[in-house]
Amino acid sequence: MKKFCFRILLLSALSALFLSFAAAADIRDAAVEMQDSYFYYTGGEICPVPVLTMDGETLREGTDYTLTYRDNIEVGTASVTIDGIGEFSGSLTRTYEIYERAISDADCQLEETEYPFTFAVYEPAATLTFGGRTLVEGEDYELYYGENKMPGNGVVYFRGIGSFSGWKAAYFTIKFPVWPLWVCAGLILLLPASMALYFGRRKQRQGPILPAAEPEKTEEEEK
């Protein structure tokens, strides 16, 4: 009798298990709508949440399915795997692209923004940050400088590499010093006075200019 009851229970359990698998819907039959097919690099995980519907009803993450993301940080092809749970079985995978971020989106800070004109070439140190991370020269960008010698605007160029693309420019000022202008202005103002003083002293050294003596008359002119 015990063996008979055990067999009945075993058959019931197997039947229930079989019916549960037979009743489970295949998650692959659900309609999947992705948030987007591509994204731009952020420095962190990019996890778009797909929307699944079946027979007009929206399925619920954690109740009807789970999500597993792969390769979703760096530039390239990322994927999300949807595994059915509860009343759903099976799995499916959707892919999306992660593209390079424009280097112009990074924040730039130069070591100095103003320099005096000295005929020297200036190449200020620069720091780029994005998403709370300090970018690395040679890994995230390449650094180039303009001539940065004459008064005006100096420039630093950044070319994105790796997870970044494009160009970014940062400017600083090379100021012409003010003191040469003041010296020139002073010389111009002092020039008339200096010339007057110079010529006045010259006249004093030469003495007064006497009138020329009249030529003596000859005897014939007196007659």
Written as tens digits, the pLDDT of the chain (223 aa) is 555 444 555 555 555 444 444 457 999 999 999 989 999 999 999 999 999 999 999 999 999 999 999 999 999 999 999 999 999 999 999 999 999 999 999 999 999 999 999 999 999 999 999 999 999 999 999 999 999 999 999 999 999 999 999 999 999 999 987 655 555 665 677 667 666 666 666 556 655 555 555 656 556 655 5
Per-residue model confidence (pLDDT) at position 53: 97
Q: What integer pLDDT is reported at residue 181 of this predicted model?
A: 57
Return all residues near 107 (Cβ < 8 A) that are at least 6 apart.
128, 129, 130
- The closest alpha carbon to 128, from 151, 111, 152, belongs to 111
> Maximum Cα–Cα distance for the chain, whole Å?
190
Q: What is the CA radius of gyration of the chain?
A: 45
Collect all residues with Cβ–Cβ distance below 8 Å to 211 and sequence separation of at least 6: none
pTM of the model: 0.68
C-alpha distances out from residue 38 to 6, 77, 94, 108, Å: 57, 9, 12, 27
For residue 106, which of 65, 45, 167, 55 has the smallest C-alpha distance? 167
Domains of the chain as residue ranges with CATH:
21-99 (2.60.40), 103-175 (2.60.40)
Strand segments (E) across 37-194: 38-40, 51-54, 57-58, 65-70, 76-84, 88-89, 91-99, 101-102, 107-110, 114-116, 126-130, 133-134, 141-145, 152-160, 164-165, 167-175
- Give me the residue label for tokens 């006045």: 200
Name every residue whose Cβ is closer than 8 Å to that of residue 44 and which is 6 or more positions away in sequence. 73, 131
What's the pLDDT at 188? 72
